Amino acid sequence: MAGIVIAGFGGQGVLVLGQMIAYAGMLEDKSVSWFPSYGPEQRGGTCNCSVVVSEEDIGSPIVTKPDAVIIMNSPSFDRFVPEVIPGGLVIYNSTLIDKKPERDDIRVVAIPANEIAEELGNARVANMVLLGSFLANTGLVNDASVEKSLEQVLSERHHHLIPLNMKALERGREYQ
């Protein structure tokens, strides 16, 4: 079982990442849950989601001690890094977070996600860069499932962006 927390500001694609992981797990016949949490501000306010992907039944959709976190902003870094279990994984956007975890019992991957997204031509795919690294580091779900989940999670009017999102995933895979 993998309990994951994805966190950042509203508008950074935090909830979409969680939906994609959950949907990809569902396509692979795994048990999944996705539990969003966000303030009334939505865009610009903090938000996070708990995702659980498991071969077994899931007892609770809330992840209090994550196996892994994907973090897109500094307030979320401060909030969730201490909660990661020993031996867990922290993936974070080093473009927006200028600190490092002070723990030595976790794996840490710092990725300049916004910079990479800008190089690809669209700052909004920074979340996909982080997801690519997460997938490369965990192997939780496979590429085909992720691509299919993009087709389901993105609205049809954004399907023309799927190739760009797949490029962002590939760039993120370089960070392990």
> Cα–Cα distance between 71 and 146 in angstroms, integer?
19
The single-letter code of the amino acid at 41 is E
Q: How would you write the pLDDT of the chain (176 residues) with one tens digit per residue?
A: 699 999 999 889 999 999 999 999 999 999 999 999 876 655 567 899 999 999 999 988 899 999 999 999 999 999 999 999 999 999 999 999 999 999 999 999 999 999 999 999 999 999 999 999 999 999 999 988 998 999 888 889 989 999 999 999 999 999 98
Residue whose token pair is 């669209």: 122
Count how many domains the chain has. Answer: 1
Reported as half-sphere exposure (CB side, CA atoms, 13 A), residue 82 has a value of 3
Q: Which domain holds residue 93?
A: 2-173
The token duo for 66 is: 């994550």
Residue (of 46, 16, 22) closest to 34 by Cα position: 22
Answering whether pTM is above 0.75, one says yes
CATH number at residue 39: 3.40.920.10
